[in-house]
Structure 1
Amino acid sequence: MIFLDAAATTPVRREVLEAMWPYLTGEFGNPSSHHGLGEAAATALAAARATTAKAMGCRTGEVVFTSGGTEADNLAVKGIALARRAADRHLDRVAISAVEHPAVEESARYLARVHGFAVDVIPVDQYGQVSEEALAEVLGPRTALVSIMYANNEVGTVQPVARLAALARALGIPFHTDAVQAAGWLPLDAGTLGVDALSISGHKLGAPKGSGALFVRGRTRIEPLVHGGGQERGRRSGTENVAGAVALATALTLARDPAERVAALRDEFIEAVLTGVPGAELTGHPTERLPSVASFCFPGTSGESVLLELERQGVICSSGSACAAGSDAPSAVLLAMGIEPEVAQTAVRFSFDSTVTADELRQAAAAVRTAVGGVRSLRTPS
């Protein structure tokens, strides 16, 4: 099997398993307990927080451990917007890009549906990028929050987050970025990016599913979504997942992926597909994209049929976001980029981890040529 669906999830790294194992077995204490077992768990949690904060370029008190990227996005979007409006009732708009992950988009729609917010959707260009001009168009005195993802999970396009965040900061508007796909490939330093909140997820980095974190700048008001014992400085109650926090921190220390090497392999793979498959169209920005993502549309096919044929040949990939599994509707991301619905339904995404090899990608490119050709022949009337 050649696994090219790392944007959906990655295998848990052995080093991560070994680091978290003690907190799944003998060191099982509750970090809020005031005895030796609990204090050992609290020490491990504090160490994990410090490691995570270093990776995110922030203070330890600015890290909130969550159950993953989706919860981190929900907490950022809902929590910051609601806290801002509680302080000023006129702050009743949120701005998101047209290509956000559903965790951000649906959080914004919830604010509109339940709390009466207006949602301003920022358009993107044909590559899926937000321009400074497009963002400036929607910002105003009623904007409570801006949320624009760092790197897109479907097409790999990287946003100019630092420049966009600077626009919001000049107007005193908090800026959140979903960095789930960027983690491990792009710098996460919150100070350099200039963001007020940043979400990551462990299972994209070699940690288990169910681990994640949110950076929240110290003075940023945030309304908790989960109430109870006041853990995580009152921002996310519930007994902390110590093993998950240790796993995430360990994965972050190991996530020094050879981006240049993988980017070079990605470019070779893109060239092989574009030259080997007539009519194949690369989606996303041609250069400002994640090293780990190559995505295409294959007009005249069905994306799902191509996937099935590739799996039969031992190549595992995706038709887009794994979070939209079971939907046969064309990708909202591709539609926002101006791609026609019938073409968007032919999309296939290939995403790599740091272990991918040139030989695997050569085999995969050959399989793509065969799969697309076979699907097209079946769909063409004799």
Structure 2
Amino acid sequence: MTTTSWVDGADAGPFGLAHLPYGVFSTTKDPAPRIGVRIGEQVLDLRALATGTFFLPWIRPAFHEQGLNGFMAMGPPAWRLVRHQLTELLADRRHADQSATLLTPASKARMHLPFNVADYVDFYASEEHATNLGRLFRPDSDPLLPNWKHLPVGYHGRAGTVVPSGTPVVRPRGQRKSKDGPIEFGASARLDIETEVGFVVGVGTELGTPVSPDAFAEHVFGVVLVNDWSARDIQAWEYVPLGPFLGKSFATSIGHWVTPLDALAEARVAAPVQDPAPLGYLQETERFAYDLSMSVHWNGTEVSRPPYRGMYWTPAQMLAHMTVNGASLRTGDLYASGTVSGPQPDQRGSFLELTWGGRDPVDLGEGGTRTFLEDGDTVTITATAPSAEGGTIGLGEVTGTILPALD
């Protein structure tokens, strides 16, 4: 099958035929949200395509929905069939004239949340991130707590505060306590980011049915970039003994475009060796991670390049642990990796780490210096991955700007 598209400019960019991510968009002329697939700087309208006879009859209804959930629930056979059909359509020039009428310039598309989020779980899968935080918070003891290398630590977030890229983030308020000061209520003064990779569940399970790590690709539809905004001062006071709550539940941003797992086939790499070996339910026949090169821009200045490939706990292990107690999966479940950080200082995926707790300000050039986020600051997270024939794809970015706290 050819790897070039008749869509102008698609082959040279991050959204070529090897990618084809799914999203939900509308236009000024047609404000009803509908599913599209990104090709170059265009969005192919799948609702319009499904109005004809292009897709099989049992698949067409899914593309008349206003979100991806119906299509995601159909499972891998439908995912692969549609991907194959779309690749042929966008590669074969015989379809160019007719199909070009179904394209909308990405610049004119208003993007929406790509799927209805059922549940949201956030993990803590980077050994470097967990070690950095341990050194910051527990300088006189082992940075990793005893359970960390035996299970993927995580917590349940609020699905209702997952928002699409570009949604402004209002500075949260809550209780805070300085080391020697009184308890106060007010706006967070230590607002932070977490650079993460999210995994979107397509196929659900029955309550009481664990999922093996080897069944990862049977349930997970695709990947989105995630910024799990964090109010570190609120979090520090409230998290003992039950963990994150108001310090993280005010907003979690995700990218507009969901990258199918098949688009990341060339990005699979061996995951780090685990010592000690995990318990049986976390052991994988083929232990793999994804070679995602991430980048964090703070007010336009690149401040970090976290590498996802070194994450200690894999997405398959996170899925297995999340369900081992019998918890069910639902279409639209989102689980995220936790902060992606590497071994080098310029690979840290949170500002808490980059500034070492606020001790070392980050230089933003003409934008001055920062320790934590100020009102008006904008953060953008991007990522690239290897694709077929030595090329690369670019995952849909996630960006957000901080607004002042409400009075």
TM-score w.r.t. length of structure 2: 0.23
TM-score w.r.t. length of structure 1: 0.24
Q: Name whichever structure is richer in strand by fraction.
A: 2
Q: Name whichever structure is richer in helix by fraction.
A: 1
